[in-house]
Amino acid sequence: MELDRLIARELVAQLHSRSEGSSICPSEVARALFDEWRDLMPKIRKVSDQLAHQGVLTIQAAGTPVASAEAHRGPIRIARGAQFPHSDS
């Protein structure tokens, strides 16, 4: 559970560091957290799905929203959702 929170915080932090219309690759989040990041990718997709379900972010493939990062096979991007938290700064 702690790993889920760490991933969620990093997802939000990386999206905050980008302009509003930008997206991130889930591997950027994994690389920021661990040197050995590849095994973390399924967990990143799972947490992304949880946040997408809450409206915090959206999952995209080729610029089109997809229902699930875990179910989608192939590259995805992650962008801000309607419930994305405003920056505290």
CATH fold for the domain made of 2-80: Arc Repressor Mutant, subunit A (1.10.10)
Beta strands in the chain (DSSP E): 23-24, 57-61, 64-65, 77-80
Q: What are the pLDDT tens digits along the chain (89 aa)?
A: 799 999 999 999 999 999 999 999 999 999 999 999 999 999 999 999 999 999 999 999 998 999 898 888 899 999 999 999 986 54
Phi (first) and psi of residue 26, to 5 degrees: -60, -25
Q: Can you give the pTM of this predicted structure?
A: 0.91
Hey, where are the domains in the chain?
2-80
